């Protein structure tokens, strides 16, 4: 039977405290969370921060399995991070020699730390998109970036692009999956193909997906114009955001790990 794949940008309806937060609070929490993650440089603090992140997930109605799937979908990037450190960092004791390449403990440790940092980013970003509707996220970002308009930054254009991108990421994934299935049903079996042909076939998959995305983009732009949309026109919002005490408390939560990471 069909199983829905969990990916970024897919909102999961729910009524947890995280769902109810002002999107601006969640967006402002991102740099704070990043600061905490970058301040951490050893296993103990890293594990403590990971526990804090997982606790955040657990306190929402999102299942850990959904978050794990989001992390799993980026396993290639995580493997690359570990491998990169392993191959190019020669600090610490030599671990082993593979042909002409020597691997060191320092490289392995830094690779794992960097990968764990990335895992935390992915988990946090996943929870953010799982608990915030794409239009709310875009609206929140627009309002966070609004002061930059004085410096000439067209924040409304950025948020429009982000809003549309977030809305269409799951659609494009679904379309790619449908096209992939169509090729598989015509006998495509990547495992039996040499690496070069595999790459060519995967690139071929991108052609109909890209063509579909362009078709959709044109149709969307025309539909928006037909309904009177003009860039830079003054407009009101369907939902107006209001900052509550819980949003301040949520941001306060992130000061805690930063302080812990900085001083412990």
Partner 1 sequence: MSFQLREGAMTAVLGAPGSGKSTLLQHFNGLLLPDSGNVRVGEITLDAGSSQAACRAVRRRVGLVFQYPEQQLFEETVLQDLCFGPLNHGVDEAEAEAAARRAAQWMGLDDSLLARSPFRLSSGQQRRAAIAAVLACDPDIIVLDEPTASLDAAGRCELMARLDAMCREAGKTVLVATHRLEDVAPYAEDYVVLREGQLTFHGAGHTLLQHTAALEAAGVIVPGAIRLALGVAELTGIEFDRIWPQPSELAAAIHQAYERGRPT
- Using CB under 8 A as the binding rule, whether residue 212 contacts partner 1 is answered as yes
Q: Is the sign of the CA dihedral 216, 219, 225, 228 positive or negative?
A: negative
- Using CB under 8 A as the binding rule, whether residue 2 contacts partner 1 is answered as yes
CB of 171 vs partner 1, minimal distance in Å: 13
Among candidates 11, 9, 12, which has minimal Cα distance to 169? Answer: 9
Stretch of 75-83, 119-127, 179-187, 229-237 contacting partner 1, by CB under 8 A? 179-187
Stretch of 93-101, 177-185, 231-239, 248-256 contacting partner 1, by CB under 8 A? 177-185
- Using CB under 8 A as the binding rule, whether residue 205 contacts partner 1 is answered as yes
- Using CB under 8 A as the binding rule, whether residue 178 contacts partner 1 is answered as yes
- Using CB under 8 A as the binding rule, whether residue 188 contacts partner 1 is answered as yes
- Using CB under 8 A as the binding rule, whether residue 219 contacts partner 1 is answered as no
Exposure string for 123-153, b = 16+ CB within 10 A, e = fewer: bbebbbbbbbbbbbbbbbbbbbbeeeeeeee
Q: What angle separates helix 155-185 from helix 134-145, to the nearest 10 degrees?
A: 150
CB of 221 vs partner 1, minimal distance in Å: 19
- Using CB under 8 A as the binding rule, whether residue 184 contacts partner 1 is answered as yes
CB of 213 vs partner 1, minimal distance in Å: 11
CB of 178 vs partner 1, minimal distance in Å: 6
- Using CB under 8 A as the binding rule, whether residue 204 contacts partner 1 is answered as yes
Among candidates 75, 62, 76, which has minimal Cα distance to 124? Answer: 62
- Using CB under 8 A as the binding rule, whether residue 216 contacts partner 1 is answered as no
CB of 168 vs partner 1, minimal distance in Å: 15
- Using CB under 8 A as the binding rule, whether residue 187 contacts partner 1 is answered as yes
Residue 158, exposed/middle/buried by CB under 10 A (0-12, 13-18, 19+)?
A: middle
Stretch of 63-71, 94-102, 164-172, 174-182 contacting partner 1, by CB under 8 A? 174-182
Which own/partner contact pairs does 257-263 have at CB distance under 8 Å and 24+ positions apart?
257/33, 257/36, 257/48, 257/49, 257/52, 258/32, 258/35, 258/36, 258/39, 260/45, 260/48, 261/36, 261/39, 261/40, 261/45, 261/49, 262/39
- Using CB under 8 A as the binding rule, whether residue 214 contacts partner 1 is answered as no
- For partner 1, the binding residue among 12, 71, 179, 260 (CB under 8 A) is 179
Is residue 74 within 8 Å of residue 141, measured between CB atoms? Answer: no
**Nearer CB in complex with partner 1: 146/204:** 204
Q: Give percent helix, percent strand, percent coil of the chain, each to the nearest 5.
A: 70, 5, 25
In the complex, the residues that contact partner 1 under the rule CB under 8 A are 1-2, 175, 178-179, 181-189, 204-205, 207-208, 211-212
């Amino acid at each position: 039977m069909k199983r829905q794949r969990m990916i970024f940008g897919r909102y999961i309806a729910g009524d947890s405290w995280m769902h109810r937060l002002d999107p601006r609070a969640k967006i402002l929490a991102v740099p704070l969370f990043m600061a905490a993650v970058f301040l951490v440089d050893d296993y103990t603090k890293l594990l403590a921060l990971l526990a804090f992140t997982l606790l955040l997930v657990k306190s929402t109605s999102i299942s850990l399995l959904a978050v794990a799937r989001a992390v799993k979908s980026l396993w290639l990037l995580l493997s690359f991070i570990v491998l990169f450190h392993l191959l190019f960092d020669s600090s610490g004791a030599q671990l082993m020699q593979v042909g002409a390449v020597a691997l060191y403990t320092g490289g392995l440790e830094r690779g794992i730390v960097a990968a764990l940092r990335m895992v935390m980013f992915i988990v946090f970003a996943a929870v953010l998109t799982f608990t915030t509707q794409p239009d709310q996220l875009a609206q929140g970002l627009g309002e966070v970036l609004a002061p930059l308009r004085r410096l000439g930054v067209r924040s409304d254009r950025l948020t429009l692009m982000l809003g549309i991108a977030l809305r269409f990421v799951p659609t494009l994934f679904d379309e790619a999956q449908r096209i992939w299935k169509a090729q598989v049903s015509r006998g495509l079996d990547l495992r039996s193909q040499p690496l070069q042909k595999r790459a060519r076939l995967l690139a071929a998959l991108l052609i109909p997906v890209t063509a579909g995305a362009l078709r959709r983009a044109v149709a969307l732009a025309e539909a928006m114009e037909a309904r009177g949309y003009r860039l830079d026109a003054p407009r009101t919002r369907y939902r107006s955001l209001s900052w509550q005490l819980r949003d301040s408390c949520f941001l306060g939560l992130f000061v805690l790990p930063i302080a812990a990471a900085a001083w412990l």
